[in-house]
Amino acid sequence: MNILQRPLLSSSTTSSSSDTRSGVTSPSSESESYFGRGEVSLPQPFSPATLSAESTETRARALPQDLPIPPIPDEAVCKTFDKQDVGTPDEWIPRDSRMVRLTGKHPFNSEAKLRDLYSYGFITPSNLFFVRNHGAVPRIDDETAKNWKIEIHGLCQNSGSLSLDDLRTMFEVVTVPITLVCAGNRRKEQNVVQKSLGFSWGAAGLSTALFTGVWLSDVLGFFQPQKGAKHVIFEGGDSLPNGPYGTSQLLSWAKDRRRGMLLAWAMNGLPLEPDHGFPIRLVVPGQIGGRSVKWLKKIELSENESQHHLHFHDNKVLPMPIGPDQARAEKAWWYDPSYIIRDLNVNSAIASPDHDEILRAPDTEVYTLRGYAYAGGGRRISRVEISLDEGKTWSLAQIQYIEDQFRGVSHHDTVYGSLDLSDSDQSFCWSFWSFDAEVKALKEAPSITVRAMDESLALQPRDMYWNATGMMNNWWFRVCIHRLGDGGLRFEHPTMAGTQPGGWMQRLKDAGLDPSQPVFSSKADGLQVQVTTAQPAVEVSMTKPGVTRRITVEELAAHANSEKPWFVIKGEVYDATEYLSEHPGGPQSITLVAGEDATEDFMAIHSADARKKLAEYHIGTLIGSAEGPKPEPVSETDSKTFLRAKEWKTVTLTRTTDVSKDSKVFRFSLGNAEQALGLPTGKHVYVKLKRKVEQGGKKVPEGQVVQRAYTPLSRGSDKGFIDMLIKIYYPSVDFPLGGRMTVGFSELEVGDVVSLKGPIGHFTWLGSGRASVDGKEKKITNVGMVCAGSGITPILQVLRGIFEDENDRETNVSVLDVNRDLDDILCKAELDEMASKHGNRIQLHYSLTGKSVPETWTGLVGRITQDMLMSRLPRPSEEAIICICGPQEMEQSLKRILTAQGWHPTEQIIIF
């Protein structure tokens, strides 16, 4: 019998009652119950203050002024909407524009600027509390919140569900100060050294609030875990591609009240905001923020840990030798329990002086350095040390344990419940440190360094432990000191959060030095100050040990072909013949540079893992230069076509057009209205652009260079412009930074330029039922086509080449177009018109894979299956081919299936 089927008592009930259905007697006094002291009510109205009526309270409900604890910041919650959220699933949520966005527009992941966060003191206002979202925030209205229940099930004596009213009336309501910290705090520093899988948190990925709720240990005690239960699994109410966010705790930890875990519904006296888990969340102090599940819906007691996707594929510190590409490819790393993160590690940072702060003061004055420090698992920070000589000597800083002020307080009211830490000896909050430095000493110092130690004697390390996820970065925090010509000082932090420019680490990297091995200098040369040096960057070796062959320019030129392509990077020669079929960008990405120096393009777009792999194909060192004689320039007026296969040419964005929720058409001008692009049907162009970074309040194209091949939407014969249909892969759960190239497209504004090179590709539709595959011409009578999303563009070009050809009356086509939702089908009007006009020669099939398939839908449903391919595509024959364009995993999967069905993998299966 469900124990929660009995009537629930209000917190003012004093009489005894018995539930004959369950045989459980309700307690008759506070001493026999879980009840708190006196009546505790939920804040009313119980809805996020940002979304409540203007007449309702929008400031945190203050505690009595006579309590000897730090005040809650007297700041009204943000009621304005940030224009960056327009067009995203979160456009209904008010958000403070001061927050630094780390993943573009969506999902919302952000932190305050460090100076703003620190200036508010111990408690952080909700407006500036850091946010880590994996997807869209669940939109929960008042009625849904009122009826919200947490389901508790699994290996427990009792099972059932609890509403918020159940929680506040059945269990003691408490308020606890807790600092939450993202496991990615300070990740930007790791990303500067080498790009990790995560986005760039600065040093403000932490915040502190008074959380109100009930002890998780009390709730678990009520449900009585059974023998065999080892884990408590928590699941949120968000909707993500691989299922809702979920993770787990060891049951022995979750049952221990000293661990401080709460089921919380309020922050700083007000209901949780949507970004912070409204209406209820789990709060786990002392552990990484990823363990504090928001929008909590389910609690399960189990013998096994959580099986949720992100429990395994997030919040891990993988071994240093494992790079991001290897981590993506080799899934076993994510399932090794050795690499899971629970407790926070010891960490500290300098908040004052701020980045780019200028100090002009006489030598006799004192400047107070300030910052924060924290540790995990409830451990106390035992010391903070400051060095002004790069760690040769250290001085003790003063530590302010503001959390200790709560240990002498015993307060109870109807909003906060019991605020009483008198029996607690755990440290779940950040501490503040300060150090009075003589200005004279600062003027002689090259840098300021801080490190902290906790009571277990864990000490911040000097050197960075770089890892594929970029998590738990806690090496010494260093601020560089620049001496100005007027005697003043300018301070430079290591990095700035997100895409913000600045910081000595990027400056070192741009100078070809290793930012993970800084050596600061106090020498100055007038106004041109060079105050920081470092060890030369340790580059990834791209050569094979023992290879001593010397290769002439003539030998290289003999391999300037697609059969056995050689190319040059940094004076070394590589034979890519065996890698052509494996290259993620397709063989044409390599054959295009056969016989040439590909250093610039390769270094711009390839990761450290790819550079390591390149060594496998190293065959020797080039004698001389691979550049060869430059071709005579062709004037734009003399050339009929725009594209050059060996030369980058710039085009200018003139307009963008939205065609779906995440797809846009970008039109670029060629500069000459009468010039055709010159792209044969079935070929592609390389597109290269620079990602934008913020400088002086503006976004400028000074960031990472990215490039990839695209098939334009416009025809090769169109004059004066090129249209690119781009599906924007915004940041998501599995790819926090989103698609590097497509997000770069989304940053473009009218007037911006990108570079093109081409044509490229191993397939050309020649017309009259003929095609060229790897230079071999063949007759084609049947074409099968499979595409997904924006992969429609090369498919559409070939379709146009077939059905707009007056000399072709025989070629038959079958198209299988797979998308998540109906609105995701791109170019559907043109496809439908083509099918209607040429119905006897074209079979057009759509399939939807999403959860919201319309009731009126008559097409296919589900992902591509082997049966679907066999029944919808032509059978293998001498005059048949299959054309495929979509996500790489889909392309490779289809290639394996089709090869097994009898299709030749290179001559008949065309992957664009």
For residue 67, give every residue at least 6 positions away whose Cβ sits within 8 Å of its Cβ, in sequence order, or none. 409, 411
Residue with tokens 């993620």: 584
Q: HSE of 899 in the Cβ direction (CA atoms, 13 Å)?
A: 11
Distances (CA, A) of 268 to 257, 332, 415, 700, 818: 21, 42, 10, 39, 48
Q: What phi-psi label fits residue 382: left (phi over 0), alpha (psi between -120 and 50 degrees) or beta?
A: alpha
For residue 34, give every residue at least 6 positions away whose Cβ sits within 8 Å of its Cβ, in sequence order, or none. 170, 171, 172, 218, 222
Q: Which of 407, 377, 415, 378 is nearest to 267 (CA)?
A: 415
What's the DSSP call for residue 335? G
Q: How far apart are CA 83 and CA 264, in angstroms?
A: 30
The one-letter code for the residue type at 644 is R
Q: How far apart are CA 676 and CA 670, in angstroms?
A: 8
**314 is a catalytic site residue:** yes
Q: How far apart are CA 702 and CA 291, in angstroms?
A: 36
Q: How far apart are CA 358 and CA 116, in angstroms?
A: 17
Q: Check if the beta carbon of residue 502 is closer than 8 Å to that of residue 355.
A: yes
Please classify residue 247 by burial: count the beta carbons closer than 10 Å to its beta carbon, then call 0-12 exposed, 13-18 middle and 19+ buried: buried
E strands within 443-504? 447-454, 477-483, 489-492
Q: Check if the beta carbon of residue 771 is closer than 8 Å to that of residue 681.
A: no
Residue length of the chain: 912
Which candidate in 109, 133, 268, 315 is catalytic? 315
* Dihedral angle over CA of 604, 606, 607, 608, nearest 10: -90
Distances (CA, A) of 429 to 107, 114, 127: 27, 17, 19
* 156 annotated as ligand-binding: no
The 3-class secondary structure across 830-861, one letter per residue, is HHHHHHHHCCCCEEEEEEECCCCCCCCCCCEE
Which candidate in 218, 314, 597, 609 is catalytic? 314
Q: Is the dihedral of CA 574, 578, 584, 586 positive or negative?
A: positive
Q: How far apart are CA 238 and CA 123, in angstroms?
A: 27
Q: How far apart are CA 813 and CA 765, in angstroms?
A: 13
Q: How far apart are CA 102 and CA 470, in angstroms?
A: 14
Q: Which of 180, 159, 215, 236 is nearest to 34 (CA)?
A: 215
Q: Is the dihedral of CA 322, 323, 329, 335 positive or negative?
A: positive
Buried b (16+ CB within 10 A) or exposed e, 382-403: bbbbbbbebeeebeebebeebb
Structure tokens at 345: 């590690």
**147 is a catalytic site residue:** no
**315 is a catalytic site residue:** yes
Please name the helix (run of DSSP H) or strand (run of DSSP E) that holds residue 506, with its range, or none.
helix 504-510
Which candidate in 96, 109, 156, 182 is catalytic? 182
Q: Check if the beta carbon of residue 316 is closer than 8 Å to that of residue 334.
A: yes
Residues comprising the binding site for Mo-molybdopterin?
Answer: 182
Catalytic site residues?
182, 314-315
Residues comprising the binding site?
Answer: 182
